Chains A and B, each alone.
Chain A
């Protein structure tokens, strides 16, 4: 079971039960992952989804749902974080929050990232990104 704690992931088009609120999904995950106090509040602020957190997911836009999936991927202390198409449907502030989180987790906790994306990552923000182009897909490695 231990290795599962070390991996966080978010899929390209995440789906969650619409009858639950964002807070309930986060509580469910954090109950299993035993997250540190304050981590959820911090991630909510970083990704800017605090205002919607008590509303049912059925009313969330795809961008908001994407942010929730990203938040869940960063929950706990993962050593590797796998993000499938992390840039799609994100707004500007969400994108900035995500890139800041990637830098922070890499610098502070030594986390590695595996990102699969059709869009290039901003090189000025993540300068040490390594890319591996596979026919139509791009796999980018950071650190």
Chain B
């Protein structure tokens, strides 16, 4: 039983914290890096008081905890759907109360940071003679732990749940190669795709908003934008992996070379659409039309080049990253000369 606990803990809990280390570091920096060490205690006390006294603030915190719960839920789906962890389904052979106990323990461990912070908020609420607030907070967290535990139990009991969803709609969009690549990004790489696109669009928007007629210098915005575009390399590398493993049959289909190229070109264009919309929004002020077109055109060329490299050579992620950095270096020099 103890060894089972250890294995369970290793796969379901430790793996989660190892995977989310970047996220926790970010949260830690936001909460503890913005104020002087000497005022940390007062800052957090004021924050908790604000949470307890302002319903809207409390709502935000509850929303954040809910989002964290979704993150945990996604991890559970990923882990239990992974062939490496299929032996965990052996837990179904245990008496139901033991399996449920496993799930509750794991759920509580996965929601550790939320439970910890909720406990502090509750303690402050009790100290301020507002015990009902403490009950509300603890009640919500208990519900969250129970919901995650139940989801874990459900996943264990019914392996492959939600995977075999039926399409009810009578209308079927035409399936093209580009649409398969896009669907792959949206279905299996949601997080990375959203992060890359939000980063790229936000950077573009914020840096171009700073431009004025008196101080019009596009070198830095372009370099930052191109860096964000090189971030698309990770998406392309994953797409290419999909092509060489699960879309291998496409190679032998009678599709002309020009049409194949056009499909990749269209895919890159669709991927660049959010940035093009941002550029359109900022034209003609603060960015001139000709410069907006140059940004969009060069951005498109960079994306297409990044994909073409993978079509020409099979590269490991590390080698591809090095090549991207070299290309970025070349672009850096060219941008300095062009807009210098």
Contact = CB atoms under 8 A, between A and B. Distances in A.
Contacts of B165: 55-56
A21 B253 contact: no
Contacts of A28: 175-177, 180
Nearest to B174: A31
A23 B164 contact: no
A33 B254 contact: yes
Contacts of A16: 246-247
B76 to A, nearest CB: 17
Contacts of B166: 54-55
A24 B167 CA distance: 10
Given A19-B188, A21-B167, A54-B166, A4 B248 contact: no
Contacts of A7: 252
Interface in B174-226: 174-177, 180, 183-184, 187-188
Nearest to B253: A32
A115 B249 CA distance: 18
A71 to B, nearest CB: 12
B326 interface: no
Given A1-B254, A4-B253, A27-B174, A56 B247 contact: no
A17 B246 contact: yes
A125 interface: no
A55 B245 CA distance: 21
Interface string A24-53: 110111011100000000000000000010
Given A15-B246, A17-B246, A24 B254 contact: no
Contact of B253 (A18, A20, A27, A33): A33
Main secondary structure on B side of the interface with A: loop
B214 to A, nearest CB: 50
Interface residues of A, number: 32
Nearest to A21: B167
B183 A9 contact: no
B94 interface: no
Looking at chain B, what size class is its interface with the partner chain? 20 to 34
A5 B254 CA distance: 6
A16 to B, nearest CB: 6
A37 B167 CA distance: 22
Contact of B172 (A23, A25, A55, A60): A23
A120 interface: no
A2 interface: yes
B188 A15 contact: no
Contacts of A19: 183-184, 187-188
A110 interface: no
Contact of A2 (B164, B175, B254): B254
A18 B160 CA distance: 12
A90 B89 CA distance: 26
Given A17-B242, A19-B188, A9 B175 contact: no
B183 to A, nearest CB: 6
A28 B252 CA distance: 13
Nearest to A7: B252
B163 A58 contact: yes
Contacts of B255: 1, 32
Contacts of A55: 164-166
A56 B246 contact: no
Interface of A: 1-2, 4-5, 7, 9, 11, 14-21, 23-25, 27-29, 31-33, 52, 54-56, 58-60, 72
Given A18-B188, A56-B165, 19 more contacts: A1-B255, A9-B252, A11-B248, A14-B249, A16-B247, A17-B183, A17-B242, A18-B163, A19-B184, A24-B172, A28-B180, A29-B253, A31-B174, A32-B255, A54-B166, A55-B165, A56-B163, A58-B164, A60-B164
29 contacts: A2-B254, A5-B254, A7-B252, A9-B252, A15-B245, A15-B246, A17-B180, A17-B247, A18-B188, A19-B188, A20-B175, A23-B167, A23-B172, A24-B172, A27-B175, A28-B175, A28-B176, A31-B175, A31-B176, A32-B253, A32-B255, A33-B254, A52-B164, A54-B167, A55-B166, A58-B160, A59-B164, A60-B164, A72-B249
